[in-house]
Amino acid sequence: MSVYAQRVNGSGDLLWNITNEEPCSAGSCVYMPQVVSDGAQGAIIAWGDDRGGEFYADLYAQRVEKYGLWGWPSARIASIVDVPGDQGGYVTLSFEASRLDRTSPPTVVTMYSVYRRNGASWELTALVDAEHMSSYSCVVPTVADWTVPAPYFQNFRILAEECYECPNGSWYSPIDSGLSIDNIAPAAPAGVTALQSITPPGLQLTWTPNGESDFLHYLVYRGVGELFIPDGTNLIAMPDDPEWFDAEWRWYSGYYYKLAAYDIHYNRSLFTLVSPGDVTGAETPPTPLVTCLRQNFPNPFNPATRISYDLAAGAHVSLCVYDVNGSLVRTLVDQSKEPGTFAATWDGENENGEIVASGVYFYRLKAGDFIETKRMILCK
């Protein structure tokens, strides 16, 4: 016994012109069929069925869609994934074919239309010919890319249709969503120049502008030593233009800079390093008027810090690091020097090359009759 269904209008006309599409053809004992609307102009039919044997009766159901075809004849989106290695704006949409994508009657799907939601409307973004395959895929554009903190998930749906000009034989797939990602970071700043200035004191950094369409701004980091790690603690500027004037730079500072470009999709370029040896300029620093010891930078520090000092006159210089007990940890300088501005770097190691513990340390400068001590903190 089989279950058959037909749709009839108010005048008694048959609306489903189909054959051999019965909801159930198991040949078993079918009893008490019931029908309810599926909410999409079709119906869901349920019935009792003893196909498992007289003592194994069970309930079965089948959907009949608005054109009288059983099941769900639409295509089904299988996946929506980002196209890798691009600037965003595209995804690869894969979908399972409609079960009517076949050469035999009653219905032949000849075309798939891919629609993308844009606000309250749906836009046609791609057409895929039905070639009687089990699945298809195509690359389609998105309205926007992934962003933080609100990722933009793009909605898509597939329209399976008998032909592009015949909208009466068509079935929409369930809606699914995915997102595109800008996978390409901007180019690192190039053509960097570092020009020192005495008046006003500081360092002028300039570089070649980036040309990416999604460029946002630059990042300027400053540290001690070329191995310093750029992070939020040493980020000193985020300029929109390819230049920055560091008013804190001095000849004795020994600063290193790392520059990067940043785009609107939160991609950061590789870093461009600017070292003290890259600094140019015709001006020369004046001879210091007084001898002094400057505060180390950075402070607190990890793993290294820079200690600068001025000599108004030539002298034998001793620059040493001590622990809180007054014990010598490391001698950084022990030699005669001419007048000028100088700097030494302490890498957190003792005289034996061993890494010392975190804590408070002191550094003392002796230059002729001049003696001064300052405090610094090593944090790990």
pLDDT by residue (tens digit) across 41-51? 788 988 888 77
Rounded Cα–Cα distance for residues 112 and 101 (Å)? 10
pLDDT of 55 > 80? The answer is no
Rounded Cα–Cα distance for residues 144 and 152 (Å)? 7
Fold of 190-280: Immunoglobulin-like (2.60.40)
Mean pLDDT confidence for 280-306: 85
237-282: pLDDT as tens digits: 999 999 999 998 987 788 999 999 999 888 999 999 999 989 998 6
Domains 76-178 and 292-378 share a fold: yes
Give domain limits for the chain.
1-71, 76-178, 190-280, 292-378
Highest-confidence range of 25-39, 161-175, 323-337, by mean pLDDT? 323-337
Residues across the chain: 380
pLDDT value, residue 340: 87
pLDDT category at 18 given cuts 50, 70, 90 is low
The least confident of 11-20, 96-105, 189-198, 244-253 is 11-20
Instruction: Specify the CATH architecture of the domain 292-378.
Output: Sandwich (2.60)
In Å, what is the CA distance from 172 to each residue of 40, 177, 334?
Answer: 11, 15, 83
Between 195 and 27, where is the model more confident? Answer: 195
Mean pLDDT confidence for 281-296: 82
pLDDT category at 121 given cuts 50, 70, 90 is very high
171-205: pLDDT as tens digits: 899 999 999 999 999 999 999 999 988 778 899 99
Q: Are 186 and 211 in contact (CB under 8 A)?
A: no
pLDDT of 232 > 60? The answer is yes
Domain 76-178 has CATH 3.40.630.10: no
pLDDT value, residue 20: 46
pLDDT value, residue 346: 94
Taking the complete model, does pTM exceed 0.85, yes or no?
no
Q: Starting from the edge strand earliest in sequence, which strands make up the sheet with 272-274, in order?
A: 235-237, 215-224, 255-263, 272-274
